[in-house]
Structure 1
Amino acid sequence: MQDILLPFPPGTTRAVFLRREKRFLALVSLNGREVWTHTNNSGSMLGLLRPGSPALISPAAGPGRKLEWTLEALHCDGSWICVNTLAPNRTLRAAWQAGLLPEAAGTTSFRAEAKVGDSRLDALLSGPGGDIWVEAKNVTLEFCGTACFPDAVTERGQKHLRELMALAAQGLRTAVFYFVPMVCAERFAPADFIDPNYAALFREALSRGVEAWPYRALVDERGIRLDCRLPLAGS
């Protein structure tokens, strides 16, 4: 079995999820004491927010944080699912550094938060063979073995697909790295039933040369392992 690719931050500990409030707050029970944690996940986390389910929380990074803890993962249907939206970017970088992305073979540099036009994309992979512009997304929704994105309407995600299509039209390689931290996922599809506009743009993007890299990850209380690339549903 592959070693942990991306460990959780030191001090990550187990708690019990109680409820979510005001989008970026989650209440957990830690050693019998109620504690507010920060969640950076702006999605709905549909199907994951089950009171009484196990949670993983990590100590807040850096001084000045109002809350002492960050919500890292929730336990659902027998497996841990990462809900920290920094996990896809961190996993993308760690997987690239470890040589686990054959799609990026030949690239020799990784630039995070690369500026393109008036906005930024998550990564620019460069090498003698050219550049690859990559956006990373966190996938936490699954139905009958199909991992689906997004779990809420995402105008930002739609914007990213348009930006990638514009770059592809210039002859550049572009891709979306879909981070799927669900052991039960067997394939990937856009969530037409949640954001039909994103789903339509996803299919248009594929037809215009944007690549989709859906990768299943395995998560335990130590951290994240990259498992395998998932096929697209219907392909």
Structure 2
Amino acid sequence: MDILVPFEQPIRQVRFVRREKRFLVLVEDGTEKFWVHTNNSGSMLGLLRPGEEMLISKSPNPKRKLPWTLEAVYANDDWCCVNTSMPNKILYAAFEHRALPELAKATKLQREAKVGQSRLDARFESPGGDIWVEAKNVTLVEDNSAAFPDAVTVRGQKHLRELMALAAQGLRVAGFYLVSLAGAHCFAPADYIDPEYASLFYQALDAGVEAWPYTAKVTPQGVGLDRRLPVWRN
């Protein structure tokens, strides 16, 4: 497995103590306890167990109040990336390294691309027309099925509605789901957590929105892209 996106260095291994106010995580390394930042606003369901090993990276920005950022948690006998910026980085790197078959003919990338009233993570130019993509991080696996989201996401619902509106205009649009937790054999929306998102997800598929769920391979050095998962539906 080739690493497409290395973690910010230096990387440090610590253990989880507790979480507060969504974006604060208390960790310890055997000699001290200290707070680190997490950009993951989801629940990280099943991942935050006391004593669980974590990877944190140090920001090069000396003005940051909390210099360390949570990158990954050890779960399911493997590392799981919980940094929500990683799917975008993997998507961009996969295009540059020709690691994503769906983008094999794409020739140019525009990040944070605006179309109408929508702003999506990427627009790829290709001979067959532009491809608009929104990226999501998946850290929940139940009964061998990767599931998104791990908490009710009004923002995610909004994104699906935007993707459907673009598909209705004849544009090619897709959701790229980076499955960071090991053990998944398929992908499905988490209807037991956010039934509205799940309903919109299947409506989006029927409307022509593509779903690209891919497993990630996470190591203490960084993250690579593994294999595409089938989408499960009733």
TM superposition score category, shorter chain reference: over 0.9
Aligned to 1:148: 147
Residues 82, 180 of structure 2: 8 Å contact kept: no
Unaligned runs of 5+ in 2: none
Aligned to 1:209: 208
Shift of 1:87: 0.6
Q: How does 1:26-41 map to 2 (within 5 A)?
A: 26-41=25-40
Aligned to 1:69: 68
What is the TM-score normalised by the length of structure 2?
0.97
- 2:96 partner amino acid: Q
Residues 8, 59 of structure 2: 8 Å contact kept: no
User: In structure 1, what is the Cα distance between the partners aligned to 2:189 and 2:41?
Assistant: 18
Residues 168, 207 of structure 2: 8 Å contact kept: yes
Q: What secondary structure, in the 3-state scheme, does the structure 2 residue paired with 1:130 have?
A: coil
After alignment, is 44-53 or 95-104 more displaced? Answer: 95-104
User: In structure 1, what is the Cα distance between the partners aligned to 2:60 and 2:230?
Assistant: 36
Cα deviation, 1:154-188, whole Å, max 9, x if unaligned, reads 01001101111111111110000000012211110
1:165 aligns with 2:131: no
Unaligned runs of 5+ in 1: none
- 1:67 partner amino acid: L
Shift of 1:145: 0.6
Aligned to 1:227: 226
Identity of aligned residues (%): 60
Residues 14, 53 of structure 2: 8 Å contact kept: yes
Aligned to 2:104: 105
Aligned to 1:190: 189
- 1:84 partner amino acid: N
Residues 76, 183 of structure 2: 8 Å contact kept: no
User: In structure 2, what is the Cα distance between the partners aligned to 1:74 and 1:148?
Assistant: 17
Aligned to 1:6: 5
- 1:192 partner amino acid: D
- 2:210 partner amino acid: E
Shift of 1:202: 0.2
Aligned to 1:47: 46
- 1:217 partner amino acid: A
After alignment, is 196-205 or 59-68 more displaced? Answer: 59-68
Shift of 1:84: 0.5
- 2:117 partner amino acid: D
